[in-house]
Chain A
Amino acid sequence: MVNASTRVVITGVGAITPVGTDAPATWQSMLAGRSGVRALTADWAERLPCQIAAPAAADPATMIDRVQARKLDRCEMFALIAAREAWADAGKPDVDPQRLGVVVASGIGGISSTLTAYDTLRERGWQRLSPFTVPMLMPNGSAGWLSIEFGAQAGVHTPVSACASGAEAIAYGIDMIKSGRADVVIAGGTEAAIIELNIAAFAAMRALSLRNDEPERASRPFDRGRDGFVLGEGAGIVILESEAHAAGRDARVYAVAAGAGYSCDAHHIAQPDPTGTGARLAITRALANSGVMAKQLVHVNAHATSTPAGDVLEARAIAAALGEAAAGVVVSSTKSMTGHLLGGAGAVESVAAVMALRDRMAPPTINLDDPEFDLGVEIAVKPTELHAQGSEPMAVLNNSFGFGGSNVAVVFTDA
């Protein structure tokens, strides 16, 4: 039973991304318009049409105890690093373990561990497989490890919805608290998929940018010269907390995690519905679920991945969902800098949206030299101040859409 009167707030944030090893560094890089996209130097890249990606700003194995790192997939390391940061940032909440939950998603899970294990199996036999192979490859591995790290016994969940996974995890976490199942939830998403198979597979579906000679200019959402997304990696985590619990310990509050909206395109397994109906529905449902009026919305961190099909449809869906209020909204795609973190994207971009709300500043969408016509919304090309349209609290939105037709929109408002 959802208690509509329970408000959920964000009391901590954490991130490790292609543009920063923590949330503050990531946010500063975003405001500075720094690209994390690089040329791939691995031998296998020479065999592929796409030879660029956005690796994390640091090797996560150097940030985790060696013995623990042996048992973790790279995506689990990212999740652990971001969660430790978020937990510390929240002041390490004193919470009943049975009221502490974890919702951490991944689009793919431990894919590099899967492939490494397969090579070991073929070359050296089953006995040489790490006994931790299964927990390294399972998509809920990150969530499970975090539950142990923080002693979270309220429930541990892993919603999997491709590139919407990170946002869906935060949305699920909000619902966990509103439904009375938890007081505090560690929520977010993680991905570590910059490996030969994934680059090849996304290239096979013609989804990736092939601007190999200009890596930092390759991710260019809303630009007429865009030719696909750039694969990124990393994790974002937020600490969600019931407002009462946060108030009870005088916690610093970044924002209200007001609510979320979901929809499904039911159109194509990997292409957006050209009518944009699903995206529009997710946005209008998120606003309704949050009790937020369109005119309160000042900023959207867009899903916009720099693919030819998706960006324009999303911009028009935002405009359609908001009607006249669209004129007061500044839209950014931070994927222009981080690349696309797949299951980590919605979480990192929710962190960015919350920082934008706090600082009253939308980050730039870099490489937008030649914008598409008729987008119907303003796209920030430089850091852009956010202004309230009235006396109501300001609100920001994160859009995340995934293969399979998943659309998730999450709303954050002033505390």
Chain B
Amino acid sequence: MAITQEEILAGLSEIIDEIAGVPADEVTPDKTFVDDLDIDSLSMVEIAVAAQDKFGVEIPDDQLKDLKTVQDVIDYVGRASVSA
């Protein structure tokens, strides 16, 4: 059964809280990682690796650079987990 958008958002929020200290209620789909959530590129790498482990999907570096918003990650993980 495919993972839902809500489940991805909840899991991603946990990761972002753990690594970047951003409270879960601030992690909404429209937020950008760099400008809105103040997450630097190194922490973004850490978040991506944690997301790979949590959701069982690969996020190659050339894909990671295009994931600007929380919704981008939700969409990417949703697509990748369906095709996986």
Contacts and interface: CB of A to CB of B under 8 A. Distances in A.
A259 to B, nearest CB: 41
A194 to B, nearest CB: 27
A127 B49 CA distance: 7
B43 interface: yes
Contacts of B46: 130-132
B49 A67 contact: no
A319 B6 CA distance: 75
Contacts of B19: 67, 70
A52 to B, nearest CB: 36
A66 B18 CA distance: 9
Interface residues of A, number: 9
Contacts of B42: 131-132
A66 B21 contact: yes
Nearest to A70: B19
Contacts of A65: 21
A127 B58 CA distance: 12
B20 interface: yes
B3 interface: no
A189 B45 CA distance: 31
A132 B21 CA distance: 16
Contacts of A128: 49
Contacts of B20: 67
B21 A67 contact: yes
A130 B48 CA distance: 12
Contacts of B21: 65-67
Interface string A117-130: 00000000001101
Nearest to B47: A131
Interface in B28-66: 42-43, 45-46, 49
Contacts of A66: 21
B47 to A, nearest CB: 10
A127 B19 CA distance: 16
Interface of B: 19-21, 42-43, 45-46, 49
Given A67-B20, A127-B49, A132-B42, 12 more contacts: A65-B21, A66-B21, A67-B19, A67-B21, A70-B19, A128-B49, A130-B46, A131-B42, A131-B43, A131-B45, A131-B46, A132-B46
12 contacts: A65-B21, A66-B21, A67-B19, A70-B19, A127-B49, A128-B49, A130-B46, A131-B42, A131-B43, A131-B45, A132-B42, A132-B46
Interface of A: 65-67, 70, 127-128, 130-132
Which 7 pairs show the lowest CB-CB distances between chains A and B? A67-B21, A131-B42, A131-B45, A131-B46, A127-B49, A132-B42, A67-B20
